[in-house]
Structure formats: C-alpha cells, structure tokens
Structure 1
Amino acid sequence: MSYRLGIDVGGTNTDAVILDDNDSVLTSTKTHTTPDVESGIYSAVDVVLSESGIDPTSVTAAMLGTTQATNAIVERKQLARVGVVRLGYPATAAIPPYTEWPKDLVNSLTGQYQLVHGGYEYDGQLLTPIDEDELRTTFQKWSGKVDSVAIVGVFSALNRDQEERAADIAREELGEEISVSLSSKIGSIGLITRENATILNAGLYQVISRVTKGFSAALKAKGVVNAQVYLCQNDGTLMSLEYAAKYPILTIGSGPTNSIRGASYLSKRRNALVLDIGGTTSDLGVLVNDFPRESSKAVSVGGVQTNFRMPDILSIGLGGGSIVRQLTDGSVTVGPDSVGYAITDKALCFGGDTITATDIAVRLGKVKLGNPKLTDVISLSVAHKAVDVIQAQLANAVDKMKTSAEPVDLVLVGGGAIIATEAIAGTKKTFTSALGGVANAIGATIAQIGGQSERLYQYVTIPREEAITATTEDATRQAVEAGADQDTVQVVDVEEVPLQYAPGDSTRVKVKVVGNMV
C-alpha cells in the first residue's frame, strides 16, 4: 500500500492529510501556522505520520499548497533583483515598465528595465526585428546587478520566437543559470498586465526555491524519502518542483483553489458554490466540473494589475478569529480584524480576553469548544446581533458570486465554518463534512498534474481544428513538463473567444489538460 501526503499552509492554520490508494482519508490534522512557516509544516507532518502509524517510506507523493509567494509580494520581502526587457521600441515607449506600480515594490525588484527593438503587430506581422547587439549590450550592463530576467514581447501570444531568442542571448551573456521568464508562457493578451505578471514571476524564483528546499528538508527529516514532491497550482492541479522553479507565480491563489477541489471531493458535487471560512477570512469560489471557475478580470497582486490565470475568488474579512465589538449605540461589528493563529490564546472560550466569532457560536450552543462557561459574559442580545451581522456578510458575499437569482447549492468547508450557525440566504442545500476543516489539504492531495495554454490565432489563415490541436499540444507539453504521465493526459476544457474589431477572424484559444502523476 502506498500513500499520499498533502499539506496546505494558510495564514492561520497549516493542515495536513494522508490518503491511501483508494483516495480515502487515513488521518488529518490542523495546526497553527508558525511565523517561520517551516516549523508548522514539521509539526503537521509529524502528527499525521504518528497518528497513521504508516511507514514514512511508503509515502510516494507529497503535495504542498503555500502562500509564500503571495506573502513575499505583499510584504516586499525576499524578492529577486529583476531586469526587464521589453521587445517593443519605439512603439511602446509612451508607457514604460513599472507604470503605476507601488514604489516600494519597484525598489524591491531594483526597477531595472530596458526598451529594445522587436515585437509583432496585432495581425502577426513583424513590428520591428530584434537587434541582438542591443540585447547583448543590455545584458552585459546588468551583469552582477540582476538575479533574474523578464522578457516581454508585443503580441508574443502570436509568435514567441523573439522572446525565446532574447532568452538565449540572456543566458549567453549572464550565464546558463540565470532565471529567465517569458511573458508568452505566463500571461494573456494585453501588454502591460502580461508584463506585470512576468516581472512578478521573475522576482519570485528565489522565494519558491527556499520553499521547495524547506519542504523537501522537512519531509526528509521525517523519513519521507521515497516521495515525488509537488507544489499546488492555482487552477486546481499540481506541478513538479522543477516546473514551479520556472513559474512560481502559479502558486498564487492555490489555497482557495485547494479548498474548492477538496470541497468537490467531500460533497461529491461537480458544480456548486464553495464557502471556505478560515480563521481570518472567508473565501468564496465556484466549482465548475470539478475545477474552480477562472477569473475573467485582471487580478491585482500586491497592488499590481496582472492578467495571468487566477481562480475567481471573493474574499471577505470574516473568519473564526474575527473580533466582535459592541459599539456605543448598541450595534455590533464582526471583523475585519482577527486574532488569527492566536485564537487559542485570545478567544474567550480558550481563556483569553477577546470576543471572537467562534465565541459567539460557543455562547449560543452551536458548537462545543474550549470552556463554554467562559463565554457567559457575552449577553444573548449581543450574541444574536453578532449572528445577524455574520449571516448578512455571508449572504451578501454569496449573492455577489451567484450568476442568477436562483438559490444555489453550497459546500461549506474550513476550520471557521462553525460560525455559519444558520442557513445562508440565497442558498438551496448546504453540504458539510467532518473533514471540512482540512478540505484545502485534501484538495492538494487529490490533484492531478495540469497544463494550460492560451494562444491567439487568425482563423482565416489557420483552420480552427489546427489551432485547437496546436494549443492542446502546447498544453500537453506543459503538463508533461510539470510531471504528468503523457499517456494519461486528457483535455478538460476548451475555450474560444472571438476578438471584436480584430482582423482575420482573430480568436483567443485556451485549452486546459490534466494527467496523472508519473
């Protein structure tokens, strides 16, 4: 018998599960996320291995969902020095790289950039050829000053040849070990937002390197030495450590995605609204054919607009650790501030002095946790008012994520789900599970290897079938590179979006595939 180990590191809790060959949950745990993150992972792995009693060497796969990349951008810490090359001079000189970026984030990345000749027109025709001498001069100037390079070409979704040649020159001048990010492999159509995503990806490579080394070391220390190790992507699939090193930005948003996938597993539902209530926030997503619905809008990451793929998630400042206050006019507020991972020290039911949303559920007898008598200091009037506020916030969030006025099925997961003490307005049937508190770790563990490709074609010159086939092949290559068994790869979604006002029946084609681990 072989086993899979899944871990998800959130802002408040670090969850871990072990699944057997039949996808049955053998054991699970929820521990507090520690300031250094790694010791929390050590603790979680230690608990599930001890409780399961399995031989650590029988674990053949280990998956990690992490918020480290997001935290690095938000906190402006541990980011690499990035040099940005835009292939689009002089056509794009009016709006240089880093336009509208937060200054502190630009400073963290050094703000180095160079506009050089290159790029394509919207119809695929050459804008200007690249100047190799110009590129070599740029890279030579940056020697010793940058750790990573971001290369961005105008309409590289049509043709990535220039970007790939520029990458070759970067490695020739800066060394084969230099980290290079190509925009054509990261973002969608739209120069500035695609460029932004590529810069962030380039800045994260050192962060993800530390994460993967730390995770691998934690597993080795616990005797898990025979496992293939994967990181979770934000589309509900996995990628190998080698692939993650190239595309660390794909880990951003993987936490909520894991919860959605875990919710599907626990509820046996392929289509539903998922509400994951944690200790600090509540995340809502939509389950569509087993996978999270992708956002169709540009997503802001750390104050920067990007257009790389992200799950359609709505987050609100409400969780089990949200602080409850009674105002002078008699009204009650809940959140958005939270005691977070300190809930077992600060919540009333655990002997603390702060009223939290969890204390409200305990006071009303909806859940047995800690010492219920300690919550008697909360008047029933305040408790009921707090419940009304919580229910109103959740109902409003559900309404924003629905696509029609009809009631929807809801899957309720997360360690803070106990604060949803009543049926939420706008929902039809609510599914819960005793394992809902570790849905995110389950989602990480059951995931397959994924690949996704998005290309722009003109159907007047390239037949539709040929375009879809080429995009599918590119997505399949990505999945195999990420660690999938090529013989098991299958298409799970094909999307075609005609571009208005563009010539030649221009269409954006996006294909997603998944496959089993090798």
Structure 2
Amino acid sequence: MRIGIDVGGTNTDAVLLEGPRVLATTKSATSQDVTSGIVSALQALRAQHAFDPAAVGAVMIGTTHFLNALVEARGLAPTAALRLGLPATSALPPFVDWPERLTRAVAGRPYLAHGGHEFDGRKIADLNEDELRRHAADMAAHGIRSVAISSVFSPVSDEFEVRAAEILRAELGPDVALSLSHEIGRIGLLERENATAVNAALRELAAGIVDGLAGAVAGFGITAPLYLSQNDGTLMDLEYARRYPVATFASGPTNSMRGAAVLSGLDTCAVVDVGGTTSDVGVLTQGFPREAGTAVDVAGVRTNFRMPDVHSIGIGGGSLVVEDGGRVTVGPRSVGYRLTDDALVFGGSTLTATDVAVAAGLTDIGDRSAVAHLDARLVKEALDTIAADVARAVESMRTSPEPLPVVAVGGGSVLLPDTLPGSGTVHRPDHFAVANAIGAAIAQVGGEVDRVYAIDAGRRETVLDEARQEAVDRAVAAGANPAGVRIVEFDEVPVPYLPGNATRIRCKAVGDLQQVS
C-alpha cells in the first residue's frame, strides 16, 4: 500500500492505494499547522479503510508551502548570490531583476568574481581563490547564512562552482547552506542564477517543513520512506527536498495532471483542474505534464527550472457570479477559502459558482432550498460563461490542429458541462476530486540531462547515447528500479549562434520506485 497526500492552500487531499486500486479518499481544510493537518488526513483514511501503518510501503506528499513562502516573502534566509564570470557579465549583477520587496526579504547581497566557461568548456578566466575568500569574509560580516553559486555555462562544466563551494564552506563553516546552479537550473545565466538564489533563500525553511512532514508521518506509526512531489511529476526523498526546495514549485497542478492520466487512462490530453479560486489547464504528453518552454516568472522572479506549462484562469467553486445590465459574469473575484461561510447554500449572502451548480442540479451540497429562487436564465448563462472561458483556455494550450481530449478533475469540475465547445466530451473519472493526491501517490522517480554539447563529426549517435545513459543513471541514483527506467522526453536542438556544431540536448528518464508495493 501507498499513501498520497496533497497539501494545498485551501484543502488537504489524501488517498490510500493498493496497487492501482483506490481504498480510501479524504478531503479536508488545510490547517495552518502542517503536522496536525496531515495527521487528520491519515486518521480519516484509516476510519474509511482500516490499515496497519506497518503495511504502508511509501508516503508521497505534494505541498505548496515553499511557493507560498516565496510569494508571501516570509521565512526566507539572508542570502548571497555569487556569480563566477568576470571579466564578463558585470553589466547585470545578481538580484538586478528581483522585486525590491523580495530582495529585502532575503537581505540579498550580490557578489561578482572571476571564472566561468564558454559553451565548449574553455575557461573565461581562472578562478581567483583569494577573491572568493574576501567575498566570504564580507558575507560573514553581513550575517549571510545561505549562498547561491552560479558560474557561466556551469551545465557544461561545474568545475568552478564545485571549487567555490569548497572555499566558501571552509571560510564560512559547515553550517552555511550552499546551492549550486548547475544542480538546479538550465542553460541561461540570469534565469539559472535566479532559480538558485530562490532555492538558497528557502533552504532554512525547507529543513523545518520537511522535518514537520516526517514527524507527522512517523507519529502516526508509519515507518515507510517519505517522498515529496517535484514539479515535473517525479519524486524526491527528504534529503533532496532539504537541498532543493524549489523542486516542489507547481507540484500541485502537476500531481493533478498525473492523477488525471492514471484515472482516465489517457496519457495525451488536456487536463482542467477546477479548484476553489482558479482553474488550471495543462497538457499531458505520454502521461507527463508538458513543460514550459520559456522562462517562468515565480513571485516576480524570472527563472528557468522545470515547471509545467499551465494556464490559469479565475474560475472556481468560489467565483463570484454577477449580473450587470443583463450580462452575467463569473470570476475572477472569488470568496476563496470563505466558500463555506459566504456562499448562499452555506447560509451566506454571496452568489457563487457553487450556488449556480447546486441550483442546476450538478452537485448536491449545502442547502439547495437557499438557491431555489435563482432565475433559470441566470443559472444557464453563468454555466455557459464558465464553459466558454474554460474552452478558450483549453484552445490556447493546443499546439496542433487536432482537438485534445479533455479530462476534468478537482472538486470544482462539476461546474463544467459534459461536452466542451471545440473539444467534445469531457472525461470526469472516478475520484476526480482527489486526483492531485492520486497523482502524488503514483509518481515515479526521474533523472534529467540538459546540456549544450559540441558534437564532433561522426560522433552524433555516441553523444546522444551518452546523454540518454546519463539520464537513466540519474534516475537510478535517485531510487528508480533499473529494470523499468525509460526515456520519456528527448530534444535535440542545434544552437546556430555558437560554433563547433553546438547542440542542446534535453533528455528525461523515469522509472518506478524500488521496493514499493
């Protein structure tokens, strides 16, 4: 058996699985105290289906806590960003494009030093170790506890980042948290540097949250391994989560899409996850979310780590329904987590999308008599508006003329019609309300390579095979069963503005966890 838990901003969903079979599900309000909320979810699962905690093979948790902390600028550590690239790259120092509010929250201090490589591994400049020691002394004087180290083209050669980390650790002590950009971001210096600095700022918070999650599970008597969901649909262990908290960003929508795939049996489709405030629309390819192909803005910071390509619109169960001059609009304003207080069916005075769904007979929650007075025309126009807005969002995610099958998940998906304009039948599988927790429970382990290679004449196939094998090796090292690892993504893109047959290769391998029933 395995347990999947998704801790969202509004609800905490949990499922108990035995193989592909769903034994129990639960949905409850997320508590401010992470630990008690997870314990409550585990107790609710056991109340539905009694199980021995010792029989649980693994627990998978998806959480939005790290992303919320960044958005709210709370709990962030004093952070330095050290860039190795002089005499190049001095025009735009680290933190240059960060919102001032966030820079203040991390007490961000930028440092520039000599180093870096060209795309083919040639050095821009030698590392100046005395220069790094002077920077370390200044960091110590300003109370820096976490450092992001980025070097030009470090995905090609990590030599300087690794050596700089050794020097800083020796100067600042073993307790300093170091984040290296070649382990976090992709090609693109500023975006990779930003992603690394965000990770560094979250390191202290990550330790507390991860310990809290582990304590909640252990306190319930479960001794099985605990994993956290990553934003690419794969898993990481607790030590990895402590080191790379940014890898959890967007794990909620990713879990929903992965859950939609397993519940519907469709591995290539559009997924509409309707929550309380927004609807997230993404695309599954071979059972995994399509990744954003461009830089991703997170809390006003431009980054390039792995994120699913998701389009969000302001329609959810708590969306306000307003009639003005005979025209009915739905959202983007929402009552959000106050739905159970403000909606008409719960004794409130605000007309919401949930009230409209109850009036139309799409769901049966709260007091139906409280919406009996609603005009049938208003109800129909509101539902038509929701369908049209969602259909446009799905259409915007298509990359080919062929229509995509649509799978609806999330508690608010009852708002959608059985047929969506331009997309045909809407698939609403069993357990759709807890698809995010199911996505966490069935997640696999992955390994990825993203690098620019200089491919010599006659060596193309050799280089491609080496990249594939490295991705497989990384998946196995992360805990995947070697017998079932497969390549799920492979991109080979020539880089015409660089000499030497430069080619960017992206390769992703995934496999099931070892020894998990």
Give SS of 2:60's match.
strand
Number of the residue aligned with 1:343:
339
Give SS of 1:104's match.
helix
Give how far 1:461 is off. Answer: 7.1
Give SS of 2:12's match.
strand
* Structure 1 residue corresponding to 2:305, chosen from 304, 308, 319: 308
1:378 partnered with 2:374? yes
Alpha-carbon distance in 1 for matches of 2:284, 2:158: 33
Number of the residue aligned with 1:286:
283
Alpha-carbon distance in 1 for matches of 2:409, 2:63: 18
| Counterpart residue identity of residue 161, structure 1 | E
Alpha-carbon distance in 2 for matches of 1:92, 1:174: 26
| Counterpart residue identity of residue 23, structure 2 | L
Number of the residue aligned with 1:503:
499
Alpha-carbon distance in 2 for matches of 1:263, 1:405: 23
Give how far 1:438 is off. Answer: 0.4
Number of the residue aligned with 1:230:
227
Encode CA deviations 1:254-296: one digit per residue, 9 max, x unaligned: 1111011100100111111111111111011111011111110
Q: Verify the 8 A CA contact 1:408 1:429 in the aligned structure 2.
A: no
Alpha-carbon distance in 2 for matches of 1:486, 1:405: 38
Encode CA deviations 1:46-103: one digit per residue, 9 max, x unaligned: 1012211001221120011011111011100111111111001121111111112100
Alpha-carbon distance in 1 for matches of 2:421, 2:144: 53
Alpha-carbon distance in 1 for matches of 2:418, 2:446: 37
Percentage of matched positions with identical amino acids: 47
Structure 1 residues 25 and 254: CA distance shift in structure 2, 3 A? same
Unaligned runs of 5+ in 1: none
Structure 1 residues 79 and 140: CA distance shift in structure 2, 3 A? same
Alpha-carbon distance in 2 for matches of 1:80, 1:476: 34
* Structure 1 residue corresponding to 2:144, chosen from 132, 146, 153: 146
Matches within 5 A, 1:102-501: 102-143=99-140, 145-224=143-222, 226-327=223-324, 329-460=325-456, 463-501=459-497
Alpha-carbon distance in 2 for matches of 1:366, 1:249: 38
* Structure 2 residue corresponding to 1:78, chosen from 75, 78, 90: 75
Q: Verify the 8 A CA contact 1:242 1:482 in the aligned structure 2.
A: no
Q: Verify the 8 A CA contact 1:324 1:332 in the aligned structure 2.
A: yes
1:90 partnered with 2:61? no
Give how far 1:477 is off. Answer: 4.6
Q: Verify the 8 A CA contact 2:34 2:212 in the aligned structure 1.
A: no
Give how far 1:486 is off. Answer: 4.3
TM-score normalised by length of structure 1:
0.95
Give how far 1:339 is off. Answer: 2.0
Q: Verify the 8 A CA contact 1:13 1:31 in the aligned structure 2.
A: yes
* Structure 2 residue corresponding to 1:42, chosen from 39, 44, 57: 39
Give how far 1:383 is off. Answer: 1.4
Structure 1 residues 462 and 102: CA distance shift in structure 2, 3 A? farther
Unaligned runs of 5+ in 2: none
**Count of matched residue pairs:** 513
Q: Verify the 8 A CA contact 1:197 1:306 in the aligned structure 2.
A: yes
Structure 1 residues 462 and 341: CA distance shift in structure 2, 3 A? farther
Give SS of 1:377's match.
coil
Give how far 1:466 is off. Answer: 3.5
Alpha-carbon distance in 2 for matches of 1:156, 1:280: 40
Q: Which moved more, 1:173-182 or 1:62-71?
A: 173-182
Q: Verify the 8 A CA contact 2:417 2:426 in the aligned structure 1.
A: no
Number of the residue aligned with 2:6:
8
Q: Which moved more, 1:330-339 or 1:253-262?
A: 330-339
Give how far 1:385 is off. Answer: 2.0
Give SS of 1:297's match.
coil
Alpha-carbon distance in 2 for matches of 1:170, 1:468: 36
| Counterpart residue identity of residue 113, structure 2 | V
Task: Give every structure 1 segment of 4 or more consecutive aligned residues whose post-TM-superposition deviation is greater than 4 Å.
Answer: none
| Counterpart residue identity of residue 286, structure 1 | V
TM-score normalised by length of structure 2:
0.96
Alpha-carbon distance in 2 for matches of 1:476, 1:83: 34
Give SS of 1:354's match.
coil
RMSD of equivalent CA atoms: 1.7
Alpha-carbon distance in 2 for matches of 1:249, 1:232: 11
Q: Verify the 8 A CA contact 1:49 1:56 in the aligned structure 2.
A: no
Number of the residue aligned with 1:57:
54
Give how far 1:366 is off. Answer: 2.1
Encode CA deviations 1:369-406: one digit per residue, 9 max, x unaligned: 22211112322222122112211211110110112343
